Structure 1
Amino acid sequence: MARVEDRWTRKDRTRTPLYGKGLRWLAVWSEGGDERKKSFATKDAAKAHLTWVEHNQRSGTYVNQDRGRVYVKELLPDWVNAQAHLAPSTMAATESDVRATIAPYWGNRILADITRADVQAWVTGMGKAARTVDTIYGRFRSFLNWCVEEGRLVTSPAKGVNLPAGNKREHIYLTIPEVRALADAIDAHYRDLVWFLATTGLRFGEAAELRTKDVDLRRKRIRVARAVTDVKGRMVVGPPKNGESRDVPLTGFMLDRIQPHLTTRDALVFPTPRGKWMRSNNFKSRTYDKAVEAAGLPLDLWVHDLRHTAASLSIHAGASVKSVQRMLGHASAKITLDVYAGLFDQELSDVAARMDSLISDSGILNLPRTSLRAV
């Protein structure tokens, strides 16, 4: 039974050997069959603590504070192992951030002693690009949330932390002549790959793992069911980024170009000249960047910008938000709108122009005002 004890005096008001030493009032309660104790300076504070314990035990939110008295480095490996839902590339990036940034800073800190001010100071002083800070902070916040779920913290000290502002890199959308210039400038072995990425929107890892069996020439469709990632020098095949397979349409132009790449059922459609998986870093540094420069395109043009180009071309061709979402494999239409809001804004203007054209073609604009009221 929960109770408050006086450490200094007995019931008969005689002094105990502890008189004047330490905090006077002792809160005593039961936890999992064991008796727990905590000292306070005042009787009211001890009673308030017991009330808090009782409330949280009844609601199922009580956390034994001793479970938070552990070094962060002792918990990080368990948290990493619990991230089985992550794609291989994301898992590799997570392990790298833990090893290089999170563990060196937080490893020897007691979990329960970490405050929001501590996390804010770390974020403010990280000295990295805003996007990198956001990513690393997000991983540490996920770790702290896991600690809450594991019953080691009552709340996460990462709540309310302000992140540094940064200029978000603008997407680069190529025009058809620019795609052609890039394709003409790149090594002939990868020429069709450039057109493929710019018209289908596949991620590089998805294109690298595409096989003949995934191409349906009759339906003019590609089945995107896998992606390959370089994880610490080892090529790992897993599901696409959001874990869902999807069908992507092929243009007639691309259909003609892809057919010569189709051989045996399990053969890669876009292998290296040696018949192996393409590695994104090698492709970019050895082949892609040189072609970008030779084509006179912006030197900061990423391979991923070809995916953005496919989205731009689709939207300007009249594709709906839902169609673009399905083609790109976004988890929701909201993500598609968030990423390509500016492109869809232009489409709104185009809608108004097309409506004007319809109205003009109908001859309504030539009717007298009195007649328009009846239209």
Structure 2
Amino acid sequence: MAKKNGQNQGSITKRKDGMYMAQLSVEGKRVTKYFRTVREANSWRIETLHKIQCGLFYAGPKLTLAKYLDEWIISRKDSIKQKTLLQYKSIIDLHIKPILGTKNINEIKPADIQALYNSKISSGTGVRTVRLIHSVLHCALNHALKLGIIYRNPSDAIYKPKAIKNEMKILDENQVKSLLFAAKGKRLEALFKLAVTTGLREGEILGLKWSDLNWDTHQVNIQRQVQRVQKTGLVFSDPKTAAGRRMILLGLGTILSLKDHCKRQLFEREFMGNQWQDNDLIFPSTHGTPLDPSNLLGQFKELLREANLPNIRFHDLRHTAASLMLRQGISIKVVQERLGHSDAGMTLNVYSHTIPGMQKEAAEKMDEITAIIELNEVFEKVGDQTGLQ
């Protein structure tokens, strides 16, 4: 027999199998849930009624995932960077909507999501892209969970593909000298010097302005980066993380290199005349606009070939700088701050395996400690035998 709770308050019915069926009407559609006890059924009924009154449950029964994701992406517009927003939208439009978009959001099961990932991998989609699909979908469904549109996040039950780490390629001290020798006299000589002495990210280097540099204190403030945004082009944006906004000190050699670069740039400005677009950038294009990363990459690859060096990424200069600093015994905390990592643990996780010398030093120090202990034990034994105290 059904237990009624007044108009629009839903009902609870005990079934023949002993289960309790709770029902509510939401915008003319009946919503039904089953529970083991009447107490659980009534708790769900009361909680759901409260959500309906607060406007949280209104769309769940008939809202498609595609429609929800459209609304979700709009809600994120002011909380994430434009490039990230466009990346999210691309992942949704190209990968999620075509397969799951027509399903009601509260009917999506873990098996549906797993099937999506499996189909992507089978069709040749990269692991990194599938992990991005998971991140976007999981984040969007978590928000739906908070709003009360769904009662659980089905992507929680999914195993996302294991990340494949790119091999870290690092130049040694002699190779760095060869690179800088090859860059001698070239337009971006100071850029490569700055990259290997500071470990700055490519976007951070391209976003540096002369106003960020203090010639007297040798300090440079990192407070922006250059990024490429789809359909917009190159734009200035905040650093990658909060820790990325930082101040670092430059060595005298780097400062002298930048002074030579400044003189060269003044000549360029005079030569270009009205064609020069002044953005106060330290490393602009030949017209004063932000330097395109693809142009920088081309010049970098040319240097590598000229110096007969391994074909590494520009980002590997950051890894090179970090590893050289650590090998020189520079404090992990200082290296972390120069790189703009959020904590020293992250720096250690990324770079500790590149410093085999640290393992050797630790082994030798432990041997020294135990050798002292063993020697003390010998003295004690001699003292016992001779009766000396």
Identity %: 24
198-207 vs 103-112, which moves further: 103-112
Alpha-carbon distance in structure 2 between the residues aligned to 1:143 and 1:171 = 32
- Residue 298 of structure 1 aligns with an amino acid whose one-letter code is P
Q: Given the two structures, how large is their TM-score scaled by the length of structure 1?
A: 0.78
How far residue 226 of structure 1 moved from its aligned partner, in angstroms, is 1.0
Q: Which residue of 1 aligns with 2:16?
A: none
Q: Which residue of 2 aligns with 1:136?
A: 133
- Residue 259 of structure 1 aligns with an amino acid whose one-letter code is K
Q: CA deviation digits over 1:295-315, x for unaligned, max 9? A: 33333x111111111111111
Q: Which residue of 1 aligns with 2:255?
A: 255
312-321 vs 60-69, which moves further: 60-69
Q: Is the 8 A contact 2:212 2:222 kept in 1?
A: yes
Q: CA deviation digits over 1:97-154, x for unaligned, max 9? A: 2332233333222211111111111112212222232122111211111211222111
How far residue 274 of structure 1 moved from its aligned partner, in angstroms, is 2.5
- Residue 134 of structure 2 aligns with an amino acid whose one-letter code is Y
Unaligned stretches of 5+ residues in structure 1 = 7-24
Unaligned stretches of 5+ residues in structure 2 = 14-19, 267-277, 384-389
Identify which of 294, 306, 309 aligns with 1:294. Answer: 306
Q: Is the 8 A contact 2:227 2:235 kept in 1?
A: yes
Q: Is the 8 A contact 1:53 1:62 kept in 2?
A: no
Q: Secondary structure, in 3 states, of the residue corresponding to 2:187? A: helix
Alpha-carbon distance in structure 1 between the residues aligned to 2:126 and 2:308 = 28
Q: CA deviation digits over 1:211-243, x for unaligned, max 9? A: 112112332221101112121242221211113
Q: Which residue of 2 aligns with 1:237?
A: 236
Q: Which residue of 1 aligns with 2:208?
A: 210
2:60 counterpart of 1:49: no
**Using a 3 Å threshold, how does the CA distance of structure 1 residues 372 and 340 change in structure 2: closer, same or farther?**
farther
Alpha-carbon distance in structure 2 between the residues aligned to 1:335 and 1:347 = 17
Alpha-carbon distance in structure 1 between the residues aligned to 2:369 and 2:129 = 49
Alpha-carbon distance in structure 2 between the residues aligned to 1:138 and 1:39 = 31
287-296 vs 243-252, which moves further: 287-296
Q: Is the 8 A contact 2:226 2:235 kept in 1?
A: yes
Q: Secondary structure, in 3 states, of the residue corresponding to 1:229? A: strand
How far residue 288 of structure 1 moved from its aligned partner, in angstroms, is 2.3
Query: Within 5 A, what are the aligned runs for 1:267-282?
Result: 267-282=280-295
Q: Is the 8 A contact 1:223 1:247 kept in 2?
A: yes
How far residue 182 of structure 1 moved from its aligned partner, in angstroms, is 3.0
Q: Given the two structures, how large is their TM-score scaled by the length of structure 2?
A: 0.75
Q: Is the 8 A contact 1:183 1:195 kept in 2?
A: yes
Q: CA deviation digits over 1:153-211, x for unaligned, max 9? A: 11111102112335421211112322233344459112221121111111111111101
Alpha-carbon distance in structure 1 between the residues aligned to 2:169 and 2:240 = 22
How far residue 46 of structure 1 moved from its aligned partner, in angstroms, is 8.1
Identify which of 366, 379, 387 aligns with 1:370. Answer: 379
Alpha-carbon distance in structure 1 between the residues aligned to 2:47 and 2:150 = 17
How far residue 321 of structure 1 moved from its aligned partner, in angstroms, is 2.3
How far residue 78 of structure 1 moved from its aligned partner, in angstroms, is 2.6
- Residue 301 of structure 2 aligns with an amino acid whose one-letter code is D
Q: Secondary structure, in 3 states, of the residue corresponding to 2:221? A: strand
Alpha-carbon distance in structure 2 between the residues aligned to 1:46 and 1:39 = 14
**Using a 3 Å threshold, how does the CA distance of structure 1 residues 39 and 224 change in structure 2: closer, same or farther?**
closer
Aligned-residue RMSD, C-alpha: 4.1
Q: Which residue of 1 aligns with 2:66?
A: 73
- Residue 233 of structure 2 aligns with an amino acid whose one-letter code is R
**Using a 3 Å threshold, how does the CA distance of structure 1 residues 314 and 122 change in structure 2: closer, same or farther?**
same
How far residue 3 of structure 1 moved from its aligned partner, in angstroms, is 6.0
Alpha-carbon distance in structure 2 between the residues aligned to 1:373 and 1:249 = 57
Identify which of 152, 167, 170 aligns with 1:170. Answer: 167
Give the aligned length: 352
How far residue 87 of structure 1 moved from its aligned partner, in angstroms, is 3.3
**Using a 3 Å threshold, how does the CA distance of structure 1 residues 73 and 282 change in structure 2: closer, same or farther?**
farther
**Using a 3 Å threshold, how does the CA distance of structure 1 residues 35 and 78 change in structure 2: closer, same or farther?**
closer
How far residue 92 of structure 1 moved from its aligned partner, in angstroms, is 3.3
Q: Which residue of 1 aligns with 2:115?
A: 121
Identify which of 319, 327, 339 aligns with 1:328. Answer: 339
